[in-house]
Amino acid sequence: MKLESFKSAVIVMAHPDDEVLWASSILSTARKVILCYGEAPNDARTTEGRRTVFDEFPLSTAFNLNIAESHCYDSTHWREPVETSYGVRCGRNKNSYKKNFHLLVKALEAHIKDGDLVVTHNPWGEYGHEEHIQVFRAVAHIGERRNIRIFVSSYVSDRVLYFMERNTPRLAAASDLLPTDKALGEKLMRHYQAHNCWTWEDGYKWPDYECFYEIVNPWAALRSDKLTMSSMPVNVIWLDEQTPTYTNALRSTKKRLISGVRSLLQRTGSKSFPP
């Protein structure tokens, strides 16, 4: 699979900005870019930004299904994740998460047709995002009834490297290494930042290349965790292993406190939000 093989692909990603983080190399030639989630519970600033971010959006092929997030991120034990038909077992908001799966399938069925080449999240959710995995499962569910080819991103974080290794029986060989579109990436990043809904770190630098894996069987049994595995092409995101545990705990606490203050200010009618 070379770059031209992905022309006219349908890209399906969970959140606005996921499309440029995980698939910048093929964005400019995609036939359609579908983003699934809109409202972000407990984050009024991001929610408001997503309502306006598609005004004069740099990609005319992109639109949002505006399904409300289930607010389940970072509630899974990634050393021992439990897969479900609708994603992965979460430790928070399980009913909302399950309900969203059915909303996703119904909405995506109107946009994915026989013969489509669909690029979406991988089965481990890039850095371990439960909603990324759910979007993958929704696309795989549609793939059972439609003649489509499913490709997934090559990104993985240290948090879920173990889970990625166990998912390898579901993957075919990697595509060619494709040059990322850094100029488009920075343009979209600035646009998201202008609307206060860029969810990744500011100043993010794209890698030089990325690739995609075709899914041969999304329901294949996970690989044994006792087998040695050789390396394969991936883009590794270092999230947890480079910082002490207490630093990650403080970072998580800070995010919750800021989110709570923003929500309080929103309820009291204040126009000023902390950075």
In order along its 275 residues, the chain shows pLDDT tens digits of 999 999 999 999 999 999 999 999 999 999 999 999 999 998 999 999 999 999 999 999 999 999 999 999 999 999 899 999 999 999 999 999 999 999 999 999 999 999 999 999 999 999 999 999 999 999 999 999 999 999 999 999 999 999 999 999 999 999 999 999 999 999 999 999 999 999 999 999 999 999 999 999 999 999 998 788 888 999 999 987 544 444 445 555 555 555 555 555 555 554 443 33
Distances in whole angstroms, Cα of residue 113 to Cα of each of 32, 37, 41, 109, 118: 12, 21, 31, 8, 10
My answer on whether 104 and 179 are in the same domain is yes
Angle between helices 130-143 and 94-109 (to 10 degrees): 40
My answer on whether 236 and 266 are in the same domain is no
My answer on whether 266 and 229 are in the same domain is no
- Sign, CA dihedral 104-40-251-192, equals positive
My answer on whether 56 and 12 are in the same domain is yes
**CB neighbours of residue 257 within 10 Å:** 11
**What's the pLDDT score for residue 241?**
59
My answer on whether 234 and 249 are in the same domain is no
The count of structural domains within the chain is: 2
My answer on whether 120 and 44 are in the same domain is yes
One-letter-per-residue 3-state SS of the chain = CCHHHHCCCEEEECCCCHHHHHCHHHHHHCCEEEEEECCCCCCHHHHHHHHHCCCCCCCCCEEEEEECCCCCCCCCCCCCCCEECCEECCCCCHHHHHHHHHHHHHHHHCCCCCCCEEEECCCCCCCCCHHHHHHHHHHHHHHCCCCCEEEEECEEEHHHHHHHHHCHHHEEEECCCEECCHHHHHHHHHHHHHCCCCCCCCCCCCCCEECEEEECCCCCCCCCCCCCCCCCCCEEECCCCCCCHHHHHHHHHHHHHHHHHHHHHHHCCCCCCCC
My answer on whether 168 and 43 are in the same domain is yes
My answer on whether 11 and 97 are in the same domain is yes
**What's the pLDDT score for residue 256?**
55
**What's the pLDDT score for residue 231?**
86
